[in-house]
Structure 1
Amino acid sequence: MLYTYLLSLIRTIAPIVAGWLITQALRLGVEIDPGSVESLVTSAFAAIYYAAFRFAELRLSPKFGWLLGWSRPPEYLRS
């Protein structure tokens, strides 16, 4: 139970820290070439797509899983 809680905190805090670091780098004048920006935007859209349809699969209908490449969510075995 404690492990799950700590894992949820890490998964919440990691994107916040990453966003903060990127913001600080841009503020300091780190320039990003257009190819890197395109890659970043593509990755962001892919993450948003996955998050939206994973949410829909869990909360609305398992049928949304087909939009993620498989008809049902993964099952993780606990050891």
Structure 2
Amino acid sequence: MSEAFSALWASIVRTVVPIVVGSVLGWFASANLPLDKEFEGALTALITLLLTMAYYVAVRLFETYISPKIGWLLGYAKSPDSYSADKPGKHEA
């Protein structure tokens, strides 16, 4: 597998996993709320968006300031700076 494809795959996984986690958490959070059917979809979407953002930000902060190993919670343990094509020093040699 090429280095470019590997970096692309890592970025896709680290994007999709928080969306899936946020969607599941959003569904659970709004599943038992007695709401008007018209309002229920909008609230579920808003809760999903907020939980997805909170999950991603929390994992990135923990990964950056506590331990890089926490990155596996995003589906791939490497942080974006470790597989970026513009990483300093990558083109030198």
TM-score (norm 2): 0.46
Residue pairs, 1:1-79, within 5 angstroms: 33-75=39-81, 76=84, 77=86
Q: CA deviation at 1:52?
A: 0.4
* Aligned length in residues: 47
In structure 1, what is the Cα distance between the partners aligned to 2:49 and 2:75? 17
| Greater relative contact order (Cα < 8 A, sep 6+) | 2
Give structure 1 regions of 4+ aligned residues with deviation exceeding 4 angstroms. none
In structure 2, what is the Cα distance between the partners aligned to 1:51 and 1:73? 13
Q: CA deviation at 1:33?
A: 2.0
Q: CA deviation at 1:34?
A: 1.6
In structure 2, what is the Cα distance between the partners aligned to 1:58 and 1:72? 11
Matched-pair identity in %: 36
Q: CA deviation at 1:43?
A: 1.1
Query: What stretches of structure 2 of length at least 5 have no aligned partner?
Result: 1-37, 88-93
Q: Tell me the secondary structure at the aligned position of residue 78 of structure 2.
A: coil
TM-score (norm 1): 0.54
